[in-house]
Structure 1
């Protein structure tokens, strides 16, 4: 099944991003480029604020060093495709979400090695060099994000009537694809003899604290920066839903330390639902009476 998943995961992500592209127009991205404040602040939140919060939680909880490293690792990763889906489901600024995901997927090549070196120096007895391939990262982002979104934009431009009929059912179809793939991943882990997530309930609290705290920090600090309500909860979603698959890959294939990927597995197991609920509450109850802002 593992070989099957190696092909299914990127294909599924590409299909999801194509569906998201069907809901975008060129004017959505023009808005991001003309008013880049939200993108820049969102990247600041992901690249600076999130790792700082990750280090704070790692220090605050009495965890084994391997799990402290795991907290920092998930905090250092960019937002994943699921953040684009949640933003799409809640009618947030999808172009902003996609742009943040794409830009940060490149910037992590520089930031993750630095953050992990610092984490190893603080929590581990020795440091471990982390090397990410810029070419491989560029290829992955190109094939699973940029090209599918571009094809979706083109399809909407040339077949707007047909695409508009698809947009409503896609809000349910796209998450359904993601949940199906996630179920296959869980079944594969069970076949490999991995323990149930419930056996690590004591690690769920710091992971949940990371998820909730970064979302509220992102929401309120972006508000202080003058970003509008849709931008605020979009940034909160992007900060709350990290690319758990990337964290698992780094832990198992790059850093190669047993147990390091556990926090990422736990985080990926609940963060979609917790982020969706929190972002929905932010959208519905935390934007009333807000003055109109541009950002």
Structure 2
């Protein structure tokens, strides 16, 4: 499978800009908050790292997806929450501080869990000889591509807070544009597969998205977390960093498989609509509790 030099250069740069935007919104206090409030963070991480890959695995089997598409679904499930979750959580009256902490912590953990889940998925779904394991060197590449820009963004915010504040909005706008471009690239690179499998992959992605939102909200509620905390976890889990999943799938240095990027591309469009509907629904409950003085 050939890869254009433009794509080889564009994907790391685009992902770097998006992760830089994440870093500009983070501080060391976001990581320290785990020690002060460990329970909601641990519940969110268990939902994200353990329950979601399991749910995605069974959904993938249920829809009998073609091997590369199945791996793409698992790659999506292994990706951390996206920064857009913070905005949706704010609009739905969720605990945004918890969102930021989960994004920060899970972005670090995902560097190790994503290669593990992808490797297991490649072994299970791909025929013998087709697997493309992520060796230590490639894990290190992911670490540098993802956490390097985050660290730079955090450093800028710490040393030059005024500059970080000025950059945050333009970088967010640029990140949204780059996300759109990456989705277009993912679809156009394997257009025939997209046309052939879009209905079944779209149904699987929608099912997984709804499952993500449900797990993220109801598991914390059953474990007696507050409604704002449950909303935050629901948004964090329901809005995946599809950009990261697409970039890893398309990157000539990593998986280099266009078909694996399709589930994340479709999910990246669907999740904004479902998250909006979910946010509207749960925010009604928060407003009623605030009105009656019984916020739980």
Work out the number of aligned pairs and report it: 280
Unaligned runs of 5+ in 1: none
- Asked if structure 2 preserves the Cα contact closer than 8 Å seen for 1:39 and 1:96, the reply is yes
Equivalent in the alignment of 1:178: 175
Distance 1:25 1:17, change over 3 A: same
Post-superposition Cα deviations, 1:110-154, rounded to whole Å, max 9, x if no partner, equal 33333554x43xxx7769655222343234334433x43333333
Q: Where does 1:109-148 land on structure 2 (aligned, <5 Å)?
A: 109-117=115-123, 119-120=124-125, 129=131, 131-145=133-147, 147-148=148-149
Shift of 1:210: 0.7
- Asked if structure 1 preserves the Cα contact closer than 8 Å seen for 2:45 and 2:106, the reply is yes
Of residues 104, 109, 114, the one that matches 1:108 is 114
Distance, in Å, in 2 between the alignment partners of 1:151 and 1:260 is 29
Equivalent in the alignment of 2:67: 66
Distance, in Å, in 1 between the alignment partners of 2:26 and 2:235 is 18
Equivalent in the alignment of 1:6: 8
- Asked if structure 2 preserves the Cα contact closer than 8 Å seen for 1:252 and 1:261, the reply is no
Shift of 1:103: 0.8
Shift of 1:279: 5.3
Q: TM-score, normalised by structure 1?
A: 0.73
Shift of 1:225: 2.8
Post-superposition Cα deviations, 1:153-211, rounded to whole Å, max 9, x if no partner, equal 333334445544665xx1xx344323322343355467657249566234312211111
* Secondary structure at the counterpart of residue 191 of structure 2: coil
Distance 1:159 1:275, change over 3 A: farther
Equivalent in the alignment of 1:151: 152
Distance 1:25 1:47, change over 3 A: closer
- Asked if structure 2 preserves the Cα contact closer than 8 Å seen for 1:2 and 1:188, the reply is no
Distance 1:227 1:134, change over 3 A: farther
- Asked if structure 2 preserves the Cα contact closer than 8 Å seen for 1:70 and 1:262, the reply is no
Of residues 221, 230, 233, the one that matches 2:231 is 233
- Asked if structure 2 preserves the Cα contact closer than 8 Å seen for 1:38 and 1:227, the reply is yes
* Secondary structure at the counterpart of residue 29 of structure 2: helix
Equivalent in the alignment of 1:218: 216
* Secondary structure at the counterpart of residue 79 of structure 1: coil
- Asked if structure 1 preserves the Cα contact closer than 8 Å seen for 2:45 and 2:102, the reply is no
Q: TM-score, normalised by structure 2?
A: 0.73
Distance, in Å, in 1 between the alignment partners of 2:216 and 2:73 is 17
Equivalent in the alignment of 1:99: 105
Distance 1:108 1:70, change over 3 A: closer
* Secondary structure at the counterpart of residue 134 of structure 2: coil
Distance 1:106 1:266, change over 3 A: same
- Bigger mean CA deviation after superposition, 149-158 or 204-213: 149-158
Unaligned runs of 5+ in 2: 91-95
Shift of 1:53: 1.5
Shift of 1:88: 4.7
Post-superposition Cα deviations, 1:35-94, rounded to whole Å, max 9, x if no partner, equal 233333223212321122123323444x454377247524542226xx123325644221
- Asked if structure 1 preserves the Cα contact closer than 8 Å seen for 2:44 and 2:233, the reply is yes
1:209 is the counterpart of 2:243: no
- Bigger mean CA deviation after superposition, 15-24 or 274-283: 274-283
- Asked if structure 2 preserves the Cα contact closer than 8 Å seen for 1:14 and 1:144, the reply is yes
Could you say what the CA RMSD is over the residues aligned between the two structures, in angstroms? Answer: 3.8
